[in-house]
Homo-oligomer: A and B are copies of this chain.
Amino acid sequence: MKINDLTLTLAGSGGDGVITTGDFITRAASSDGIYCLTQMSYGPQIRGGESSIRVRMSHKQAQSRGDFVDSLLVFSWKDYKRFTDEVELRPGALVLYEEADKESPADFLPADIELRLQAVPFKKIAQEDVGVPLTKNMVALGVLAEIHGFNQERLKQAIMDKYGKKRPEAAAKNIEAFDAGKAWAQEHGPKEERLQLEPNGGERLLVMNGDEALAYGALQAGVRYYAGYPITPATPILHWLQQELPRFGGTVIQAEDEISAITQCVGASWAGVKAMTASSGPGIALMMEAMGLAGMAEIPLTIVNVQRVGPSTGIPSKPEQADLLQALGMHGDVPHAIFAPADVEDCFQVAMEAVACSERYQMPVIILSDQFIGERFESLRGDRFLERVKQVERDLPELSPERKYQRYAFSESGVSPMAVPGLEGGQYITSGLEHDESGAPTSSSEYHQLMSDKRAAKLKGVAEDFDFARVYGNKDAEFGIICWGSLKGAVREAIMRAQDEGLKVAAYVPQLLYPVPQRSLSEFLKGKRKVMVLELSHGAQFYHYLKGYATDLPEEFLSHCRAGGHLFSIEEVLKLIRTHSVSELVA
């Protein structure tokens, strides 16, 4: 029986071209309706160090990177070494490796798992048959295509798309290498059905990483000003917008630092143009003062944090979920909201929700994405994007020469219509100082109380309007899991497996983190006797946050957390469910 779920890892040194190979596989499969979730991993070297790419391919949209690797291709065992703890081989997995490598595979592979090893003369074929040693990755592509039954037409198309126009000879040589690899596999490769991925025959999918999806969401939401400063893993947002916003009359400026980036955005938004900035932990830290200004002056603003491992510089290329306290922690009581996407597609939607929320409620809104969401590529259905486009415009005042415009007029919702430059009669003074209704500074404690009430009122509206959470599993389960962001994938798959095992369990993954989406949370908590919060934060930030701010929590409210870097696996979550699940499905 052919399979419909395959996880593949390629590893080599930077010059080996494994990233390109994995990218071709992803694009070809996606164009063929197969869902991929593709993740790159690099050594510390800037160039020429070790690199690896992992592609999970599946007929259904993949929820996670997959626990086990079914097929591993190694150009060099030494380079592979640093990835060993990221590659959990499935018993019986296929391992293809460079024949010429002097190292002994046994030194690098787990001893307790049966594997299907196969040496391949990648180098030799590239050198002798093709005459271009650099094409060994295309040889490998041919080998893999043949063994796993990938759509070869599409793969060749991907090669042509990349080299065809600009460098036709390179394209020809690559195709030649591909065919040589294929020929080798036809002769020597394992021809087992269980290694063959069945074609899906579905519609053409698109391929996007989370940062791009988020940037595209911002474009669709109407963001026309972006200022940012490069930082891993948020930089793709800057790159994408820098090339797309100008076409739509927008502005992108690479700022001199994050303070300039966010304050430029404050200025643009104050002037009436939707604005966004993005960074990661260290850069976000520098933006906190300006977020307070946006909160006080009630200026819409969207701030993206693609989280990486902290504290400080930490591990820039790995994910963590420990910037939640930072996102909460401005000086003073700052009205703001925090959203979190749970996968690539969700980045698109969350960008639109965040912009909408910031514009409707005139406040800073933080999006907490993370490295695993931001930098991984996923295959997605195009129609799901355009269906969801959402644009919200901020309230403008009706101005009349008779009445002095009151920028901060009290209102039940806490929102007061905001004049923007150019509107006649709307002139007012904005500041970070406490102020009266007109905007004029005051140091009256009474006004401070009233204005604090006004600003805080907005949080109620946000919690009502933006209470969106994903709930999985059995509504009536007594054991529930709460998680956020990139943990969703493993949790969701673990729940499906638990259900297969007859266990009752449910999971809650909110898109809105702050203010607490109490309505959907309370709904979820109904009947739960035990709830566990899963997160990638050594200090269990989300757990403590919920404990401090949420209501209706059950007596048994547990935390399961660890430092970031290494994601939870499906198996790990499943074990937790087995331990804690208090009720079973009635068969």
* Interface set of A (CB-CB < 8 Å, partner B): 44, 85, 259, 281-282, 284-286, 288-289, 292-293, 295-297, 307, 309-315, 317-318, 320, 322-323, 325-334, 431-434, 441, 443-446, 448-449, 452-453, 456, 537-539, 541, 544-549, 562-566
Contact = CB atoms under 8 A, between A and B. Distances in A.
Given A292-B282, A311-B295, A315-B434, A326 B323 contact: no
A323 B296 CA distance: 15
A431 B313 contact: yes
B333 A537 contact: yes
Contacts of A331: 281-282, 284-285, 307, 310-311, 322-323, 326
A311 B290 CA distance: 10
Contacts of A456: 538-539
A312 B295 contact: yes
B317 A443 contact: yes
A242 to B, nearest CB: 25
Contacts of A444: 85, 565
Contact of A548 (B314, B545, B566): B545
B565 A449 contact: yes
Contacts of A317: 443
Nearest to A450: B563
Contacts of A565: 443-445, 448-449
A359 to B, nearest CB: 19
A401 B387 CA distance: 68
B445 A566 contact: yes
A310 B326 contact: no
A446 B313 CA distance: 17
A332 B281 contact: yes
Nearest to A312: B432
A332 B308 CA distance: 9
A326 B333 CA distance: 10
B289 A282 contact: yes
A538 B446 CA distance: 13
A563 B330 contact: no
29 contacts: A85-B444, A85-B446, A282-B289, A282-B432, A285-B330, A285-B331, A296-B310, A307-B331, A309-B332, A309-B448, A310-B331, A311-B331, A311-B334, A314-B332, A314-B432, A314-B433, A314-B434, A314-B448, A315-B445, A318-B448, A326-B329, A327-B329, A328-B329, A445-B564, A446-B566, A453-B563, A456-B539, A544-B549, A548-B549
A311 B312 CA distance: 25
Contacts of A85: 444-446
A313 to B, nearest CB: 4
Given A331-B322, A332-B310, A544-B549, A433 B539 contact: no
A247 B313 CA distance: 37
Contact of A563 (B288, B328, B452): B452
Nearest to A441: B44
A328 B288 CA distance: 13
Contacts of A281: 292, 331-332
Given A288-B285, A562-B449, A332 B312 contact: yes
A516 B147 CA distance: 59
Given A292-B310, A296-B313, A313-B432, A325 B318 contact: no
B313 A433 contact: yes
